Structure 1
Amino acid sequence: MPYELIALLMFSSLMLMLMTGQRVFGAIGAVAAIAALSLWGTGGSDIPYAATMKLMKWYPLLTLPMFIFMGYVLSESKLADDLYRMFHVWMGSLNGGLAVGTILLMILVSAMNGLSVAGMAIGATIALPELLRRGYDKRMVTGVIQAGSSLGILVPPSVVLVLYAMIARQPVGQLWLAGVVPGLIMAAMFIVYIATRCRLHPELGPALSEEERNVPLAEKIRLLRAGALPIIIFAAMMVPFINGWTSLVESSAIGALTALLAAVLKGRMNRQVFETSVRQTLAISCMFMWIILAALGFGAVFDGLGAVRAIEALFTDQLGLNPWVILILMQLSFLIMGTFLDDTAMLVIVAPLYVPLVGMLGFDLIWYGILYTITTQIAYMTPPFGYNLFLMRAMAPPEISLRDIYISIIPFVLIMVAALALVMLFPQLALWLPETVYNKG
């Protein structure tokens, strides 16, 4: 059987297993194991052993539990509540001000956590009930929370970009910096849309009453100090790393310790918060490690087959496709896979194929990492089966229907597509900041 046909059979088998609801790491690992044993007999059993050794030697992998622990400490200790209260007080006088404040809250949560699911959970539990109680349009606020949570895997410290860095063998620091400008551009586009629409249709986002806005200046200043907390944590973690004073793992440890110290000083740390944070960190870290282990085995089989070069030859030599056309087709495939897979699963499934292919086509892998993160978040929110749509439905109150959720996301998806197009057309939007910082270093 030709190797190209074996590679196609592996991918089709993997997709079939995933659509039947199998666990991601189980599906990837099973297909890799069956293919390895079928191709190389008992010698194929060396692949999982080699993958395990490679995984254990990945020192940067230690950053994952650190960042995840940092995020859970800050969310479980309810420090995000103070942030939302700050935006409530300072921006409530504007039409749509609380919705704009929700986007800003999501940016700060992203800087503390790095997971889009955490942003969704905080937005749905803190912001959504408050916005609905204040008379905001339910479709408007549902879209705002979903769009804001999309910033979680783009704004540093993004956990997904750490995984991409390890799989693509690219510097994490450069990937984090590459996500800053596109992330802020996307957030700015969300804010402009919300402010413009609420100005034209004030009933969608009414301003707070004069009585509610009458908050003492001392309270406003106190809440403003609460907003400085994530900035302090972010700076304590990133500044030493960017300046070369600490390694990535050391910086992640600083971030985790700073978050823990902040929770203790605020009086929010207790046994339950600590135990929940540790348990959740262990569960998610183990999930990531199993997925990466399975992906390494899958990738080893693909390398042995020479599938990447075969597909490159198919696209460029036989079909004569332009590299940009191939890139766009790859992005479209992410949109399709995003209807039933999360970002981590998509990355580890296609990384053995897409990342080397992108390099062979002459594209920058740092830039492509940002394209990947934006595209997967668009896929998350694209009807009918977007991952975030059903997550939002599970967290939303009964009065918000699935139809409302579908309609709410349309303008924000269009904005994200526009942001993706900007980054594709102008790669320096992603590359300027890492090039500037690291060239100076």
Structure 2
Amino acid sequence: MSYEMIATLMFASMMLMLFTGQRVFAAIGFVAALSSVLLWGTGGVEIPFSSAMKLMQWYVLLTLPMFIFMGYVLSESRIADDLYRMFHVWMGPLNGGLAIGTIGLMVLVSAMNGLSVAGMAIGTTIALPELLRRGYDKIMVTGVIQAGSSLGILVPPSVVLVLYALIARQPVGQLWLAGVLPGLMMAGMFILYIYVRCRMQPDLGPPIDKEELSKVTLAEKLRLLRAGLLPLGIFAAMMVPFVNGWTSLVESAAVGATTAFLVAVVKGRMTREVFENSVRKTLMISCMFMWIILAATGFGAVFDGLGAVRAIDALFTEQLHLSPWTILILMQLSFIIMGTFLDDTAMLVIVAPLYVPLVGELGFDLIWYGVLYTITTQIAYMTPPFGYNLFLMRAMAPPEISLGDIYRSIIPFVLVMALALTLVMVFPQIALWLPGYVYGQ
């Protein structure tokens, strides 16, 4: 049997198990173990096992639970409430100002947490009710929250980029820095769209009443500004030593987690309930990621043993005569299709054993491709009919927002994200300049 046929059977078997409702790590790990035994006999079990042991010795894995804990401490202690109040006061006088402030809130939440689900939860519980109460168009604000929450997987400390680094064997620090400018660029494009749209149609985002704003004193504004800048201080305490080479990645993660914990204690918000919820959720998410990474590395080890990547590379470039850019675009389209029914982690571990080595064989930069993958995942999250964020929003939104409203709300933001993806593809230095500058010094 040819390498191509074996690879096709492995992927088909894995997808069939996923459609039956099996857990992602169970489907991937089972197919990897069974394939290795069928291909190489009982000795084949050593392939995924040895790969898993190598992964367990990788020190960088310690960053995952610490970043996740940092994010949950900041979200469970309701520091995000102060953030939104800051944007409410400072941006409210503008048409669409609260929607613009919501994008700013999402950027800061992303820097606190690194998970899009956390941004969605905070947006729907804090920002959405306030925006609707202020008379904002429900379709526009629904799209704002979905688009803003997607920034969580691109802006550092992105957990998705850490997972990509683990699987692709790329430096996490460079990937984080590569996501900074594209993430800020995309947030800026969202803000520009909201500003222009609300200038053209003021009824979509009315400003806050001047009488209400006059009741907020300058001292209160400055207090809220300090509270809103607090997460940036935590982020700086974590990232500045790392970027300057004073601490390792794991040490920086420990600094971030410790700083977030101490801030919650000083503000009097580290209650027993907050601590228990943060630890419990951190343990749950960390274990889930660990099982998925273990299964993915085992699957990748079987692929390496097959030599399937080189065979598929030859199929595309020598037999079908496709150019490297055509293959890359087809990969991105496949991510969008898979994103209609899978989350970002599942997509990454399913195709990483094939796509990541193939990208290297085609001569593309794997740091740059990590950013492309992440942006494409953001688009897939919001693509009907089964985009991940669409159903999260439906589950969290109030009854007056229908599924049709949610589908219509994301159209302009998906177009903006597609434009951002195109810009990063055409101009790779948008992603590569900052890591090149920092690590080149």
TM-score if structure 2 supplies the norm length?
0.99
Q: What is residue 348 of structure 1 aligned with on the other side?
A: 349
Gaps of at least 5 residues in structure 2 are none
Q: Does 1:87 align with 2:54?
A: no
Deviations 1:318-344 (Å, cap 9, x if unpaired)? 011000000000001101111111111
Q: What is residue 31 of structure 2 aligned with on the other side?
A: 31
More divergent stretch after superposition (12-21 vs 92-101): 12-21
Q: Does 1:418 align with 2:430?
A: no
Please state whether the residue corresponding to 1:312 is helix, strand or coil: helix
Please state whether the residue corresponding to 1:385 is helix, strand or coil: coil
Q: How does 1:105-254 map to 2 (within 5 A)?
A: 105-214=105-214, 215-254=216-255
Q: What is residue 391 of structure 2 aligned with on the other side?
A: 390
Tell me, in whole angstroms, the C-alpha distance in 1 between the residues paired with 2:210 and 2:233. Answer: 33
User: CA contact under 8 A between 2:48 and 2:301: conserved in structure 1?
Assistant: no
Identity of aligned residues (%): 81
State the aligned residue count. 440
**One-letter amino acid matched to 1:302:** F
Tell me, in whole angstroms, the C-alpha distance in 2 between the residues paired with 1:265 and 1:51. Answer: 43
Offset of 1:3 from its aligned partner? 2.4
Offset of 1:20 from its aligned partner? 2.2
Offset of 1:21 from its aligned partner? 1.9
Please state whether the residue corresponding to 2:399 is helix, strand or coil: coil
**One-letter amino acid matched to 2:424:** V
User: CA contact under 8 A between 2:80 and 2:122: conserved in structure 1?
Assistant: yes
Offset of 1:102 from its aligned partner? 0.1
Deviations 1:354-394 (Å, cap 9, x if unpaired)? 11111111111110000000001100100111011001000
**One-letter amino acid matched to 2:122:** I
Q: How does 1:69-80 map to 2 (within 5 A)?
A: 69-80=69-80
Please state whether the residue corresponding to 2:290 is helix, strand or coil: helix
Gaps of at least 5 residues in structure 1 are none
User: CA contact under 8 A between 2:339 and 2:388: conserved in structure 1?
Assistant: yes
Question: Runs of at least 4 residues of structure 1 off by over 2 A?
Answer: none
Q: What is residue 14 of structure 1 aligned with on the other side?
A: 14
**One-letter amino acid matched to 2:15:** M
User: RMSD of the TM alignment (CA)?
Assistant: 0.8
Offset of 1:55 from its aligned partner? 2.1
Offset of 1:125 from its aligned partner? 0.6
Tell me, in whole angstroms, the C-alpha distance in 2 between the residues paired with 1:102 and 1:114. Answer: 17
**One-letter amino acid matched to 2:186:** M
Please state whether the residue corresponding to 2:311 is helix, strand or coil: helix
Tell me, in whole angstroms, the C-alpha distance in 2 between the residues paired with 1:22 and 1:415. Answer: 35
Tell me, in whole angstroms, the C-alpha distance in 1 between the residues paired with 2:69 and 2:136. Answer: 34
Q: How does 1:215-364 map to 2 (within 5 A)?
A: 215-364=216-365
Q: What is residue 431 of structure 1 aligned with on the other side?
A: 432
Q: What is residue 405 of structure 1 aligned with on the other side?
A: 406
Offset of 1:345 from its aligned partner? 1.1
Q: What is residue 104 of structure 1 aligned with on the other side?
A: 104
User: CA contact under 8 A between 1:19 and 1:340: conserved in structure 2?
Assistant: no
Offset of 1:310 from its aligned partner? 0.5
TM-score if structure 1 supplies the norm length?
0.99
Offset of 1:46 from its aligned partner? 1.5
**One-letter amino acid matched to 2:244:** N
**One-letter amino acid matched to 2:191:** I
Tell me, in whole angstroms, the C-alpha distance in 1 between the residues paired with 2:378 and 2:187. Answer: 13
Offset of 1:49 from its aligned partner? 2.2
Tell me, in whole angstroms, the C-alpha distance in 2 between the residues paired with 1:431 and 1:260. Answer: 33
Offset of 1:8 from its aligned partner? 0.5
